[in-house]
Amino acid sequence: MTTELICSGFGGQGALTIGKFLAKAGMAEDLNVSWLPSYGPEMRGGTANVSAIISEKPIASPIVSYPDILVALNQPSIDKFAPNIKKGGLLVANKDMCPHGTERDDITIIEAPMNTIAKEIGSMIVLNMVAIGIVIGKTGLVKYETLEKDLTEFLEKKNPELLKANLKAIKKGMEIVSK
Amino acid sequence: MEVIAKRPESLTDLQFTYCPGCTHGISHRLIAEAMDELEMRNMMMGVAPVGCSVFAYKFFDCDMAEAAHGRAPALATGMKRARPDMHVFTYQGDGDLAAIGTAEIIHAANRGEHITVFFVNNAIYGMTGGQMAPTTLPGMKTTTSPYGRDEKDIGYPIKVCELLDSLDSPYFIERVSLLSPQDILKAKKVVKKALRYNKEERGFTFVEFVSTCPTNWGMDAKDAINWAKENMLPNFTVKNFRDKAKEEGGE
Amino acid sequence: MSEKVLMKGNEAVAEAALRAGCRLYFAYPITPQSELIEYMAKMMSKVDGTFVQAESEVAAINMVYGASGCGKRVMTSSSSPGISLKMEGISYIAGANLPAVIVNVQRGGPGLGDIQPAQGDYFQATKGGGHGDYKTIVVAPSTVQEFADMADLAFELADKYRNPVMILSDGLLGQMMEPVEFKKPKTDEEMKKLDEQHFDWCIHPNEDEPNHHHHEINSLEIDPNVLEQHVTKLGEKYDKIEKNEKRHEEYNISDDNEVVLVAFGTAARIAKSAIDELKAEGTSVGLIRPITVWPYPYEAISKALHEKVKKVVVCELNLGQMIEDVKLAVNGTLPVEFLGKVGGILFTPEEVKAKILEK
Domain annotation for chain B: domains and CATH numbers = 24-247 (3.40.50.970)
Can you tell me the distance from the alpha carbon of A30 to that of A56, in angstroms, rounded to the nearest whole number?
8
CB contact under 8 A, C177 and A40: no
CB contact under 8 A, A36 and C172: yes
The pLDDT value recorded for residue B1 is 84
Contacts of C178 in chain A (CB under 8 A): 33-35, 59, 62
Of the pLDDT bands very low, low, confident and very high (cuts 50, 70, 90), residue A42 is low
The pLDDT value recorded for residue A11 is 85
Mean pLDDT, residues C151-168 taken together:
98
pLDDT of A142 > 60? The answer is yes
The yes-or-no answer to whether C5-196 and C248-357 have a common fold is yes
Structural domain count, chain A: 1
Of the pLDDT bands very low, low, confident and very high (cuts 50, 70, 90), residue C69 is very high
pLDDT of C1 > 60? The answer is no
Q: What string of H, E and C letters represents the secondary structure of C282-317?
A: CCCEEEEEECEEECCCHHHHHHHCCCCCCEEEEEEC
CATH number of the domain enclosing A88: 3.40.920.10
The pLDDT value recorded for residue C2 is 58
Mean pLDDT, residues A130-157 taken together:
96
**Domain range C248-357, CATH architecture:** 3-Layer(aba) Sandwich (3.40)
Can you tell me the distance from the alpha carbon of B9 to that of B7, in angstroms, rounded to the nearest whole number?
6
CB contact under 8 A, C70 and B77: no
Subunits with 3+ C-beta pairs closer than 8 A to A: C
Mean pLDDT, residues C90-114 taken together:
97
Mean pLDDT, residues C238-248 taken together:
98
Residues of the domain holding A85: 2-178
- The DSSP symbol for B96 reads I
Selecting from A35, A58, A61 the residue whose C-beta is nearest the C-beta of C177 gives: A35
pLDDT of C84 > 90? The answer is yes
Of the pLDDT bands very low, low, confident and very high (cuts 50, 70, 90), residue A44 is low
Mean pLDDT by 10 residues, chain B (251 residues): 91 94 96 96 95 95 96 98 97 97 98 98 95 97 96 96 98 98 98 98 98 96 97 98 88 57
Rounded to whole angstroms, what are the CA distances from A93 to A6, A75, A123, C110? 12, 9, 19, 40
CB contact under 8 A, C346 and A63: yes
Cis-peptide into C141, omega within 30 deg: no
The pLDDT value recorded for residue A41 is 62
Share of chain A above pLDDT 90, in %: 88
Mean pLDDT, residues A89-96 taken together:
98
CB contact under 8 A, C218 and B54: no
Contacts of C179 in chain A (CB under 8 A): 27, 32-33
Q: Output the average pLDDT for chain C.
A: 95
What chain C residue is nearest to B70 in terms of C-alpha separation?
Answer: C59
The pLDDT value recorded for residue B250 is 61
Sign of the Cα torsion B209, B210, B214, B216 reads positive
Can you tell me the distance from the alpha carbon of C89 to that of B14, in angstroms, rounded to the nearest whole number?
29
Angle separating helix axes A160-178 and A114-121, nearest 10 degrees: 140
Contacts of C24 in chain B (CB under 8 A): 78, 81-82
Encode pLDDT of C278-335 as tens digits: 999 999 999 999 999 999 999 999 999 999 999 999 999 999 999 999 999 999 999 9
**CATH match for C5-196 among 3.40.50.970, 3.30.70.2740, 3.30.43.10, 3.40.30.10:** 3.40.50.970
What chain B residue is nearest to C219 in terms of C-alpha separation?
Answer: B66
In three-state secondary structure terms, C249 is strand
Contacts of C177 in chain A (CB under 8 A): 20, 23, 33-36
Contacts of A81 (CB under 8 A, 6+ apart): A6, A8, A47, A49, A67, A70, A72
Order the strands of the C248-251 sheet from edge to edge: C248-251, C285-290, C259-262, C311-316, C336-340
Q: Could you give the residue ranges of the DSSP H alpha helices within C44-139?
A: 57-69, 80-95, 122-126
Which of C327, C161, C157 minimizes the C-alpha distance to C235?
C161
Sign of the Cα torsion B36, B41, B45, B48 reads positive
CB contact under 8 A, A61 and C270: yes
What chain A residue is nearest to C345 in terms of C-alpha separation?
Answer: A63
CB contact under 8 A, C349 and A60: yes
Subunits with 3+ C-beta pairs closer than 8 A to B: C
Can you tell me the distance from the alpha carbon of A47 to that of A9, in angstroms, rounded to the nearest whole number?
5
Which of C219, C205, C96, C212 minimizes the C-alpha distance to B44?
C205
The pLDDT value recorded for residue C214 is 82
| Number of neighbours of residue C63 by Cβ within 10 angstroms | 33
Selecting from B54, B63, B82 the residue whose C-beta is nearest the C-beta of C214 gives: B63
Can you tell me the distance from the alpha carbon of C34 to that of C32, in angstroms, rounded to the nearest whole number?
6
Query: Is-above-0.80 flag for pTM?
Result: yes
Selecting from B41, B63, B71 the residue whose C-beta is nearest the C-beta of C203 gives: B63
Of the pLDDT bands very low, low, confident and very high (cuts 50, 70, 90), residue C211 is low
CB contact under 8 A, B83 and C205: yes
Can you tell me the distance from the alpha carbon of B6 to that of B15, in angstroms, rounded to the nearest whole number?
14
Cis-peptide into C295, omega within 30 deg: yes
The pLDDT value recorded for residue A119 is 96
The pLDDT value recorded for residue C227 is 96
Mean pLDDT, residues A144-156 taken together:
96
Q: What's chain C's length in residues?
A: 359
Which of C30, C26, C54 minimizes the C-alpha distance to C40?
C26
Buried b (16+ CB within 10 A) or exposed e, A35-65: bbbbbeeeeeebbbbbbbbbbeeebbbbbbe
The pLDDT value recorded for residue C62 is 98
Selecting from C4, C32, C276 the residue whose C-beta is nearest the C-beta of A27 gives: C4
Selecting from C59, C207, C217 the residue whose C-beta is nearest the C-beta of B104 gives: C59
Q: What are the boundaries of each domain within chain C? A: 5-196, 248-357
Kindly provide the ipTM of the predicted complex, given to two decimals.
0.93
Q: Would you say C305 and C262 are in contact if contact means Cβ atoms under 8 Å apart?
A: no
Residue C273 sits at the chain A interface (C-beta within 8 Å): yes
The pLDDT value recorded for residue A45 is 65
Residues of chain B in Cβ contact (below 8 Å) with chain C: 12, 41-43, 45, 47, 54-55, 57-58, 61-68, 71, 74-79, 81-83, 85-86, 103-104, 106-107, 111
Which of B246, B145, B183 minimizes the C-alpha distance to B27?
B183
